[in-house]
Amino acid sequence: MEISPVQLEELVHEKIKEAGDEGIAQTELATALGVSNKELSSALKKLILKRLVLKRSMKVDGKNVVKLFAVARDYSRIVVNVKSMHDVPCFTCNILSKCGNGSQIGPHNCPKLASWLISQL
Ligand code: SF4
């Protein structure tokens, strides 16, 4: 039985949601759903444009892996007071692109961010 692009998109979204905080690699997802990478890429593009899914690069066993994560719908409706964030060091950080989970530097061990957080107490 063949499924429509809309059904595939829904199926892909559900599978990514099931992966939860662990996320799921695109190849793993294609295998789990029994679809080609081309079919999967098309569905993913739509989900990413709708901001329902995001891709994040992370280190797994020392290797860089791009994983897919479901975005909670409520995230798009969070209202943030920008005044409270204007001096967060990450906004002017020159190594922002290298910062994150699985990287050598990240919010978990950043001295600049730690100092700023302490200064906010
Ligand atoms: S956590 Fe530290 S290294 Fe990462 S972006 Fe913020 S200031 Fe830069």
pLDDT tens per residue, range 84-115: 677 899 999 999 999 988 889 999 999 999 99
Residue 90 CA to ligand 1 center (angstroms) comes to 5
CA triple 56-54-87, angle to 5 deg: 75
Confidence (pLDDT) at 120: 81
Mutation pick for ligand 1 pocket among 85, 92, 96, 97 (CB with most ligand atoms within 8 Å): 96
Ramachandran category for residue 62: left, alpha or beta (phi over 0 → left; psi -120 to 50 → alpha): left
Judge if the beta carbon of residue 58 lies within 6 A of ligand 1. no
Per CATH, the architecture of 1-77 is what?
Orthogonal Bundle (1.10)
Pocket lining: 16 vs ligand 1, CB cutoff 6 Å: no
Share of residues in the chain with pLDDT > 90 (%): 57
Q: What does the pLDDT read at residue 76?
A: 57
Instruction: State whether the beta carbon of 112 lies less than 6 angstroms from ligand 1.
Output: yes
pLDDT, tens only, 11-70: 999 999 999 989 999 999 999 999 998 999 999 999 999 989 999 988 888 888 899 999
Residue ranges per structural domain of the chain? 1-77, 79-121
For residue 89, the model assigns a pLDDT of 94
